[in-house]
Structure 1
Amino acid sequence: MTATATATATATTVTPTIRVATRRSLFWIVAAVFLILIAVIALAATGASSGGVPFSATNAAPAGSKAIAEVLRQQGVDVSVPATLSGAKSALRRSAGSTLFLFDPDGNLDKAQLRTLAALAQRFVVLSPTYAQVSALAPEVGLAGIVSRSSLAAGCDLPAARAAGRVSGAGSGFRVLDPAAETTACFASGKRTFSVVDIVRDGRHITVVGTTDAFDNEHVSERGNAALALSLLGQSDRLVWYLPTIDDSSISGPSIAQLTPAWVGGVSALLVVVAIAAAFWRGRRLGPLVVENLPVVVRASETMEGRARLYQKGAARLRALDSLRIGSVSRLAILCGLPRLATVDDVIAAVARVTARDPAEISGLLLTAEPRNDRELVRLSDELLDLERTVARDIRPS
């Protein structure tokens, strides 16, 4: 009896092994790996979908302009692509009579910097300039709003415009403010609104261009876009293709690191450590997830009726009829023995052969007929059912 009591009072203590500890932490390990994979996939997708720098001479994406730059090089034009303002100035100083192409939608350059570049270039082509850029480079011209026409005719004596004939019209427009200035306005889109204006001042040409489609890879082959871009940029033996960045801006200020208090870094690191410790602490106490079946089963008929009520409430008769048509076309294809990849036209032709009916009548029922009220919707639904019954009856061996 004493031995039994002693055996009963004895407890066994088991020290956790590495396998047990790993099993307990398996959920958090899998969750961390899953989050890392999601982050990698998101970064890869973002990089793949990026269109690169718009109108960059080194960007082969649809938004870039590498196609124009390469064609100009093949025609003997020395295309230089400086990355900084000082590089652009050096390139212009090395060769007198150069052409400068500028696209600066963010306004990184101020008026003094723009005028310095204009003084160094023989021909200055500015794509989609802002109000500040127009006032600094071409005060004879003013902005005239957005141009949304699909195409524009040259309508002027500018050689590049005559070579293009017609170009894509999407972009911005300009208006000549000083009639006495030596300007040539091309591609009119309205009353005194033009997409290309060339200004001659002291023997130098400044051309403001609003039709951006003429300079990107995606639309350069349309209409006379390529002729316009190549003619404007290829008039000199040397072309400086310059896209300013924030590094070229003359506006300087304290950085984010300089504005951040010194204690923010230490507190942030401490919060990260506390969050990780809390995750492990509470994660072990919560335990594994419990799988529980849902107590509700939704019948397919209830889903169908609910969708039908939504269509009725929104008066979506055509959408409701299209849903019925999709089912009818699938069933007719099976009745006619057509493969799964058969098109609607194949189904119409097969049904016409089986029923000896006009294919146009069947096409109207399966594709083009639109109900104007609920009565016509019911009638077309009945006709679809009658058509299925007729096909089933006609293909049944007698």
Structure 2
Amino acid sequence: MSALIDVATRGTRSSAAVPLTARLRSAGVWIVAAIAILITVIATMLMTSDRESEAPLHYDSTAREGTKAMVETLRDHGVEVTTTEDYETAHKASGKPDTTLLIPTKADLLSQGDIDGFQSQLAANDNRLALIDPGHMVQEFTDRITVDDSISPLATPDKISRPHCEVPAAQAAGGVETGETEYAEARKGTEGLSTCYPFTGPGVSQVGGGEVTPGSAHGQLIVDEGGGGKADFPVTVLGNPDWATNAGIDEEGNASLVLSQLSQSDHLVVYYPTESGESESTPSTLDYVPSWFIAGALWLVPCVLILLLILGRRFGPLAVERLPVIVPAVETVHGRAALAARSHDRTGALHTLRTGALLRVAKRLALGPEAGPRDIIVGIANATGRDPAQVDSVFSSAVPSTDSELANIVHQLTLIESEIS
């Protein structure tokens, strides 16, 4: 019995490689899956490599309320622009000579120590400060400018404001869109301070009250060239944030006014204040996944399930008979032959024929159970007088590459077996 097992396991199957086409067919699904995953990863990296903020007046935002258009335009016109959400970076950069520090929004997030640090840096280097609609926070930076609270709440200013001042940049810009806040000098007759674009229109009148001295200069643009007090450096207040947004910068004279005010220095630092620790928090993996990718992934789930059902489908039970199933030998032979023919498994078919021939020859030569395939081949050569190399080729080593070669080897196999009496 051991001889039969030895022949079946070690006897005649060749070590020839599986055809490349068969390997590709079996690995086709995995190859397609790997390519799809690779493409998805590359697309995700490309889509998320330059993530932008959508916060209002943020320097990286391309939304309608962002200011990226303003920042990039200044860069295109030769201004060296530094953008940051980090206070230390902004504080250090604001000390560079010939610099303007722009705080576009959220000035209320700054502590008094932060403001004092900026003031000392700007004053020491004779640099400029620009604020976009800071509201009452303007008084934390300078005591020469305040919010004009003396405008009647029933007033309806004109949609377009005119300069009404001698500031060259405002005269060149002409009319701009009217905002919601007006600023004024904190004390009447403050020297070195210019006001432009005052509210005009039906119902606009000074009603007194508030912190503004009646009759003081007022407008939506305040240019203070510095004259002591808290701010011993130039301060510019742009009273309407729409002048700088992506949606509003190309309206009326907004672009001319904003760009001229922010390009008076060779270097512009845009500091966007954030909550404490907000800019230093480590983003999670989901923060780098775009919304379209998540929606696409959810849509792919049912598609993958359907694909798995198609690939794993079965057409009914394997056998309708009650077990155990009795299959006639001839059906087994025909079935295996059909499988071998369909898969072009010439090597497997030849292995089966060789195994049967060796078993029959071993029995005829009365070889014991300890005889292996080589012993049987030597016995065949001695019994038939044929060249041992030829017998080994027919019974063991020859590998057919075509159907005709397979038929020739089988013919030789049958012929040699018939010569053994």
Q: What TM-score do you get using the length of structure 1 for normalisation? A: 0.47
Which structure: greater helix fraction? Answer: 1
The structure that has the greater radius of gyration is: 2
**RCO higher in 1 or 2 (8 Å CA, sep ≥ 6)?**
2
